[in-house]
Structure 1
Amino acid sequence: MNFQWKGVMPAVTTKFTADDQLDMDLFAVNINAQLEAGVHGIILGGTLGEASTLTSKEKECLLRETIDICNQKVPVIINIAEQSTAGAIESAKKAESLGASGLMMLPPMRYKATSRETMVYFKAVAQSTSLPIMVYNNPVDYQIEVTLDMFEELLKLDNIQAVKESTRDISNITRIKNRFGDRLKILSGVDTLALESMVMGAEGWVAGLVCAFPAETVAIYELVQQGRIAEAIEIYRWFLPLLELDINPQLVQNIKMAEKATGIGSEFVRAPRLPLEGKERQRVENIIKKGLETRPDLSKFKLKTAAL
């Protein structure tokens, strides 16, 4: 599928049953809720997807099911996060053979690669597939930054096309635009900076809390695209306490609690993750409860996306 790197692309969670099996029925409920809200793509196998705990067979099952549910309506992108170059190439080839629309790629995992090693890694994978690639640039969490000089070299490969911008530096969006124009598409990767990023020129939003609140997330994007910034800010101010659940070491548990509260997910996580308890659980529950009680009426914005 040919597509553009733009719009709201949920980094979806993986649904599990109480006995730690894939819950494909509940997974389908959530994917359909995303599609009904008007998202522009689905991203599998990120941190929220608990990909590091999934087997290859489970990843294949999730990819096949998502492609089937989406039925060409939106692109299905899978994350590549591997320890070795050979492993990343194998994953990329497998994803392409199964029908993925594109790849999101992290730098090498568990090894703090040098700039040269990181570029060689990205290039080797890009040259092994025809799929379009979005580089995930998150030096805060992964300790490897893909600099503009590195992108200058990487963009010699046509299928490296986008960046999930998670440096937490809003001005970096302007630096990218000044240097590369539209050659490198930018999707914000930090929920709490998404509106600001899109106002500064990011083409889209790889979102987390969208997993629980798809319509509100899409509404913010659509309002920004229409230049209705004040209205987007109105929703965003309501959303921010919930969005802050994404910038937390327990983001998976937090977002799954929110998904359960909105009826499109469950709290089941895979060990070593455990459900929240005690004061932290109460804190998150209170944020979600208040968010639901004050949830904005999106109908007043008169947007045309499916769920609005």
Structure 2
Amino acid sequence: MSIQWNGVMPAVTTKFTADDKLDFNMFEVNMKAQLEAGVSGIILGGTLGEASTLLEDEKRELVKHTVALTNGKVPVIMNIAEQTTRGAILAANKAEQDGAKGLMMLPPMRYKASDHETVVYFSEVAKNTSLPIMVYNNPVDYKIEVTLDMFEELLKYDNIQAVKESTRDISNVTRLINRFGDRLKILSGVDTLALESILMGSDGWVSGLVCAFPAETVAIFNLAKAGRIDEALKIYRWFLPLLELDINSFLVQNIKLAEVATGIGSEHVRAPRLPLQGSEREKVLGIIAEGLRTRPTLPDYKNL
């Protein structure tokens, strides 16, 4: 299965049981909702997926289970976030062996690599896997920016195909298109800039709140791409307070609370994360409750 790098691709949460095991029953509930809504791919093991807390065996089990569950309907993409080049290559090889069809890759973790070191890091992984790669460019959270000049070097590898654009600079979408045209697919990686990014020409949206609101997320994307901007904007304006739950250090807890409210997730997180408490919890629950109270009726967005 080739990856088109377009549409809505959820960066899904990892579901846990109360005794801290992988919860594949609840995971399946969420996957069915994502597929029914019309997502274009499933991304595992990102920040929202609590990848830094997952054991190696759990990551592999998660990939294998998702591949079986999606059954070829959409590609399964595994996030690579490693400290060493060797570790990243091994992780990519394991994901490929387990049935993943693509990779999302962060720059080296913890060490702030130079531009040259970062290019070599991505290049070595690209040379050692046949899987297509989406570079996750998020200098705000991970302190390393993949610049246009760095992409110029990276794009000599055919399997480096896309960028999850999370610089927070909306004009960067236009810079990327002007420089690389269709050679580099662009997916918005910031929920609160998603519609703006799509209107500037992004090919897709890697979303967080889609985990709780899959239909609304895909509707916004499809309507915008169909030129029905007013309808997309109306849903997006309703969605924005919820989308802001994704640009917060408690994004995992926030989005899992939203999944509980929509019936397609649980609140269980893995320590050191803990469920929200006190005034912060009440604030988030209030945002979610208002979103549900005013939840819009969607047009037939699947047949545009």
- Helix, strand or coil: the match of 2:103? strand
CA distance in 2: counterparts of 1:104 and 1:173, whole angstroms: 18
Indicate if the aligned counterparts of 2:3 and 2:132 stay in contact, CA closer than 8 A. no
CA distance in 2: counterparts of 1:174 and 1:304, whole angstroms: 27
Q: Which amino acid aligns with 2:76?
A: V
Residue matched to 2:232: 232
CA distance in 2: counterparts of 1:156 and 1:196, whole angstroms: 29
- Helix, strand or coil: the match of 2:33? helix
Residue matched to 1:302: 300
1:266 aligns with 2:232: no
- Helix, strand or coil: the match of 2:301? coil
Deviation at 1:225, TM superposition (A): 1.1
- Helix, strand or coil: the match of 2:78? strand
Where does 1:120-131 land on structure 2 (aligned, <5 Å)? 120-131=120-131
Deviation at 1:5, TM superposition (A): 0.5
Residue matched to 2:156: 156
Deviation at 1:6, TM superposition (A): 0.4
Where does 1:82-231 land on structure 2 (aligned, <5 Å)? 82-231=82-231
Deviation track 1:131-169 (CA, whole Å, cap 9, x = no partner) reads 000000000000000000000000010000000000000
CA distance in 1: counterparts of 2:64 and 2:16, whole angstroms: 17
Deviation at 1:303, TM superposition (A): 2.3
Runs ≥4 residues deviating over 3 A:
none
Residue matched to 2:257: 257
Deviation at 1:97, TM superposition (A): 1.1
Deviation track 1:78-101 (CA, whole Å, cap 9, x = no partner) reads 000001100000000111111111
CA distance in 1: counterparts of 2:26 and 2:295, whole angstroms: 23
Residue matched to 2:72: 72
CA distance in 1: counterparts of 2:73 and 2:275, whole angstroms: 34
Deviation at 1:50, TM superposition (A): 0.1
CA distance in 2: counterparts of 1:18 and 1:210, whole angstroms: 23
- Helix, strand or coil: the match of 1:181? helix
How many correspondences in the alignment?
A: 304
Deviation track 1:63-113 (CA, whole Å, cap 9, x = no partner) reads 011101111110100000001100000000111111111000000001100
Residue matched to 1:286: 286
Deviation track 1:100-132 (CA, whole Å, cap 9, x = no partner) reads 110000000011001011000000000000100
Deviation track 1:252-290 (CA, whole Å, cap 9, x = no partner) reads 000000000000000000000011111110100000000
Deviation at 1:3, TM superposition (A): 2.1
- Helix, strand or coil: the match of 2:175? helix
CA distance in 2: counterparts of 1:189 and 1:139, whole angstroms: 12
Structure 1 residue runs of 5 or longer lacking an equivalent are: none
Residue matched to 1:3: 3
Report the TM-score when normalising by structure 2: 0.99
CA distance in 2: counterparts of 1:294 and 1:61, whole angstroms: 38
- Helix, strand or coil: the match of 1:68? helix
CA distance in 2: counterparts of 1:3 and 1:127, whole angstroms: 18
- Helix, strand or coil: the match of 1:182? helix
Deviation track 1:40-69 (CA, whole Å, cap 9, x = no partner) reads 000000000000000111011110111011
Indicate if the aligned counterparts of 2:219 and 2:302 stay in contact, CA closer than 8 A. no
CA distance in 2: counterparts of 1:304 and 1:142, whole angstroms: 35
Q: Which amino acid aligns with 2:221?
A: Y
CA distance in 1: counterparts of 2:7 and 2:112, whole angstroms: 31
Residue matched to 2:248: 248
Alignment RMSD (CA, Å): 0.9
Report the TM-score when normalising by structure 1: 0.98
Identity %: 74
Indicate if the aligned counterparts of 2:11 and 2:48 stay in contact, CA closer than 8 A. yes
- Helix, strand or coil: the match of 1:304? helix
